[in-house]
Amino acid sequence: MKPTLRILAFALALALVGAACGGAAEEQPPAEGGLPGEGMKACQVTDVGGIDDKSFNATAWAGVQRARSELGVEAKFLESQTQDDYAPNIQAFLDEGCDIIITVGFLLGDATKEAANANPDQPFAIVDFAYGEGEIENDNVLGLTFATDQAAFLAGYLAAGMTKTGKVATYGGINIPPVTIFMNGFWAGVQKYNEDNGTSVEVLGWDAAKQDGTFTGDFEDQTKGRQVTEDFLAEGADIVLPVAGPVGFGTTAALQDSPQDDMAIWVDTDGCISASEFCPLFLTSVMKNMDVAVFEAIKQVVEGTFEGGVYVGTLENNGVGIAPYHEFEDDVPQELKDRIEELRQGIIDGSVSADHNDYL
């Protein structure tokens, strides 16, 4: 993923009202006080998993809520219960006259493209998807993408430095690029640690050469997440990175019941904030700052400066990063903390690669 194109924008959307397909709709009234976005609507269509998934849907929604507070827009969302809800939910917001429609997730790519080309004057933003040249006829979609392999690389290095068993693990919800980019980066970070330290920490659940590994098949079934995690623990892993939205709470459940001092690394948002009850389990989180991107996209619509294209969040522009160590702050050796900061700077200046291909 190369951060070029327009770093001008980010994403869309909010909350509910009226009936529409795919689940409950909700609405938050605009803030009061003569703000520039009063009378405008920012509308978010979620992926499956729900608005309160404590992961990517919720993080995007936080950006919409910020726009409500700071810009005065009306914030709305519609939840997609299945993939069949994507197009009807988008159409419901088109019919309602939303000023920007934010779709959240790679799987909404086709439905968003079809709607955007059929409604060339309607601004859209989509999280985790970028269209090729000419696919969007009127350039009215801003793709919000993130170099999460950069941040996951740091998390992989950290995990390799903190494991007591010499085995760490990762799994995904579905084998799609926004998921596997985390797994690639995590795997590469472990390889870098082994390279630096002459160790042989093993990554369970992901084969970077084959680009395949362990997947639950969805982003909802926490029972599957628990089973996968229990299998990893039985194989000796003591740190698990779930890249599966709410399915990851199956991992936290398994770790809570484990007699060992096992740990998790959360994704998309700082787990110690979004799911604070599990903070004692989170070594860190691989963060995709989707809320910032979504807010900026809405702000551009409010200001009349919206442009389509692609935004890429990187370590350099703070679009991605790793969360503080929180309850593990005193457990992570200072030498390891310093090395991770060196690697962060190295990725930014180009002297360190987070590309998994360079470690095959």
What are the tokens at 17?
């009202």
| Beta pairing, strands 239-243 & 212-213 | unpaired
Is 90 exceeded by the pLDDT of residue 234? yes
- Taking 50 as the threshold, does the pLDDT of residue 237 lie above it? yes
Dihedral angle at the C-alpha atoms of 129, 135, 139, 145, nearest 10 degrees?
10
Position 248 scores a pLDDT of: 97
**Average of per-residue pLDDT values in the chain:** 92
pLDDT, mean of residues 103-130 = 97
Strand pairing class (167-172; 320-322):
unpaired
Structure tokens at 99: 């000023």
Options 3.30.428.10, 3.40.50.970, 3.40.50.2300, 1.20.1250.20; CATH for 148-287+321-359 is: 3.40.50.2300
| pLDDT value for 30 | 64
Range list of β-strands (E), the chain = 25-28, 41-45, 74-78, 100-104, 124-127, 141-146, 167-172, 202-204, 206-207, 212-213, 239-243, 263-268, 282-288, 309-313, 320-322
The stretch 175-180 carries a mean pLDDT of: 97
Task: Give domain 25-147+290-313's CATH superfamily.
Answer: Response regulator (3.40.50.2300)
Which of these ranges, 7-16, 98-107, 226-235, has the smallest mean pLDDT?
7-16
The percent of residues in the chain predicted with pLDDT above 70, rounded, is: 91
Identify the three-state secondary structure at position 196: helix
What's phi and psi for 162, nearest 5 deg?
-110, -15
Distance between CA 264 and CA 252 in Å, rounded?
A: 7
Residues in a beta bridge with 264: 240, 282
* Domain residue extents for the chain: 25-147+290-313, 148-287+321-359
Q: Predicted confidence band at 32 (pLDDT cuts at 50, 70, 90)?
A: low
Q: Give the pLDDT of residue 29.
A: 66
Residues in a beta bridge with 103: 45, 126
pLDDT at residue 11 is higher than 70: no
- Going 167 to 192 to 154 to 129, the CA torsion angle's sign is negative
Over 60: is that where the pLDDT of 226 sits? yes
What mean pLDDT do residues 43-50 have?
Answer: 94
pLDDT at 353 over 80: yes
Q: In the block, which residue shows the tokens 């939910």?
A: 89
pLDDT tens string 199-217: 999 999 999 999 999 999 9
> Hey, what are 35's tokens?
């703000």
H helices within 175-307, ranges in order? 177-197, 222-234, 248-257, 271-274, 290-303
> What type of residue is 114?
E
Shared fold status for 25-147+290-313 and 148-287+321-359: yes
pLDDT 10s digits, 243-301: 999 999 999 999 999 999 999 999 999 999 999 999 999 999 999 999 999 999 999 99
